[in-house]
Amino acid sequence: MNRMEVIVGETIDGFLIEERLHVGGMAIIFRASHPDVDGPVLFKVPKIEDGDDPTVIVGFEMEMMILPRLSGVHVPKLYAVGDYARRPYIAMEFVKGETLYPTFEKSPLPPMDVAAIGAKVATALVDLHRQKVIHHDIKPSNIVIRETGEACLIDFGLSRHLGMPDLLEAEFRLPMGTAPYISPEQIRQYRSDPRSDIFSLGVLLYHLATGERPFGLPRSQQALKTRLWRDPVPPRKIRPDVPPWLQEIVLRCLEVDPTKRYQTPARLAFALKNPDAVLLTARAEKMKRDPLPTAFRRWLRARALPPPEPSPYVADAGSIVVVAVDLQEGFEYLAEALRIQTQRALSSAGDVRLACINVLKLSAVFVNDPFDAEGRNIHVQRLVELKDWARPFGMATEKISFHVLEHMDPAEAILEFAEKNYADQILMGARGSSNMRRFLGSVSSQVAARAPCTVTLVRAQAPSAAKQETADVAGEPGAGVAAVAE
């Protein structure tokens, strides 16, 4: 049996798997029980099948990192987390209540019902943001209204913890989120602004009030970007019974510029609970979209926007060292030499965050089999091996991150990662020389020549020169990298 597969009736770390409840795009949900837990347990495992998108693996790892750091009634209680090295899973509270999805399907709702729901979700966001987490996927199916009345937020696979490495931001270049709800900041791949959740909640409020989505159902990157310059139809144009105060709140949440939105979910919750205190502006009386010339000027400004600034975590993380580790069989001696050099770098520097990467080389010609000869997912196996390699460092979770990058060009993957994550130094191993490597150019030489930061190349004597020469001629699949001055 594939160690990722979960079978109804088996017991995993004391949790008896009783029933499969749901198969989603990124995870499979089971109901389970445990002798030490009073009541049912929600047992969640990643959906890793035939070459699934690596975001499934990374997103599940993010949730495993974030959930143990959360507490309170607005998030599920966590019971246990399984590691990718054995059986990845998240065992958590089976929240008694119902998601907002059935209510969402009944929209439009009366204005006061919309406000009451919005206030509950905003209150949950107050608690979440105080714990330094941005949800980034606020939508009806991720909000459960407990039997006791509080909103409980679920599914943290796309979330961002401001005190920890953001694996999604580090590894991927596409917007992360659910298309109808995604904020302008997320479209621009900036994941460190808590006001993104306020925008997504604004989308939800708009739909509850009007029965329609403010930006439709975009199915392409270009369609997503239209919300950067095109405002939605005012709610009162669709539903005349929407009061001015509710339109004011909704349209303020949906401002493209986050500085024009409610600055905290606490302020939003107060407005929703106290309609008479809402200060009405031109938004409240608006009955049509902005004219096309205005939208065109916004389009021009959006095209001229500079790249997003580094996230607060990255900006304040001190020195960022990227170490590219070659995990290919036969090069263990080089991985060990790189580990020694990395330990020296960590010892000699002050505040350092370490990003350990490995490149899973893809073929441009052949179909890439996601499993090895033993039926293990190769991406997951590389992630486990990378963590094993770094285990001797004993670094705190918030100071080290692990990334398996899938790319046809290992050197390009390393360079892109270093540039995107503002690396101060790259540490990597350099294999021995050969005629073919001199002709084609090695991964390490390409990185050293083009890197935007210091590159340190680590060399080591191979146990057998003949064995080294054979490996050199074979190329550098799955090459890892690290840094030295060039």
- Average pLDDT rounded to a whole number, residues 276-283: 94
User: Are residues 429 and 331 in contact, defined by beta-carbon separation less than 8 angstroms?
Assistant: yes
| pLDDT tens string 182-231 | 999 999 988 999 999 999 999 999 999 999 999 999 988 889 999 999 99
Smallest CA-to-CA distance from 358 within 457, 481, 460, 444 is with 481
| pLDDT tens string 145-186 | 999 999 999 999 999 999 888 888 888 878 888 999 999 999
Write down the pLDDT at residue 50: 58
| pLDDT tens string 92-147 | 999 999 999 999 999 999 999 999 999 999 999 999 999 999 999 999 999 999 99
Round to whole Å and give the CA distance between 123 and 197.
Answer: 12
User: Are residues 402 and 386 in contact, defined by beta-carbon separation less than 8 angstroms?
Assistant: yes
> How close are the terminal C-alpha atoms of the chain, in Å?
48
| pLDDT tens string 443-472 | 888 998 899 899 999 988 777 654 444 333
Q: What's the CATH fold of domain 317-474?
A: Rossmann fold (3.40.50)
Write down the pLDDT at residue 157: 93
Axis crossing angle, helix 244-253 with helix 265-273, rounded to the nearest 10: 170
Write down the pLDDT at residue 436: 40
Round to whole Å and give the CA distance between 139 and 130.
Answer: 20
Write down the pLDDT at residue 433: 58
| pLDDT tens string 29-46 | 999 999 999 999 999 999
Write down the pLDDT at residue 305: 78
Tell me yes or no: is domain 102-304 CATH 1.10.510.10.
Answer: yes
**Which residue ranges make up each domain of the chain?**
11-93, 102-304, 317-474
In this prediction the pTM is 0.81
Write down the pLDDT at residue 481: 34
Is residue 486 scored above 60 in pLDDT?
A: no
Write down the pLDDT at residue 309: 59
- Average pLDDT rounded to a whole number, residues 305-325: 67
Smallest CA-to-CA distance from 140 within 236, 55, 204 is with 204
Is residue 81 scored above 50 in pLDDT?
A: yes
Round to whole Å and give the CA distance between 204 and 141.
Answer: 11
Round to whole Å and give the CA distance between 388 and 155.
Answer: 27
Write down the pLDDT at residue 369: 77
Residues near 154 by Cβ (< 8 Å), separated by ≥ 6? 75, 76, 95, 142, 143, 144
| Pick from 5-9, 16-20, 362-366: least confident | 362-366
Write down the pLDDT at residue 160: 94
- Average pLDDT rounded to a whole number, residues 415-437: 78
Name the residue with higher pLDDT: 480 or 312: 312
| pLDDT tens string 363-393 | 777 767 777 777 788 888 999 999 999 999 9
Name the residue with higher pLDDT: 7 or 473: 7
* Beta strands across the sheet bearing 151-153: 97-99, 143-146, 151-153
User: Are residues 66 and 164 in contact, defined by beta-carbon separation less than 8 angstroms?
Assistant: yes
- H helices present in 192-331, as ranges: 195-210, 221-225, 235-238, 244-253, 265-273, 282-285, 292-304, 312-315
Is residue 397 scored above 60 in pLDDT?
A: yes
| pLDDT tens string 258-274 | 999 999 999 999 999 99
Write down the pLDDT at residue 311: 53
Q: Vertex 384, ends 382 and 389: CA angle to 5°? A: 90
The two structure tokens encoding residue 122 = 């905003």
| pLDDT tens string 43-78 | 999 987 655 568 888 999 999 999 999 999 999 999
Tell me yes or no: is domain 11-93 CATH 3.30.200.20.
Answer: yes
Round to whole Å and give the CA distance between 467 and 472.
Answer: 9
Round to whole Å and give the CA distance between 486 and 481.
Answer: 14
Give residue 483's pLDDT band: very low, low, confident or very high (50, 70, 90): very low
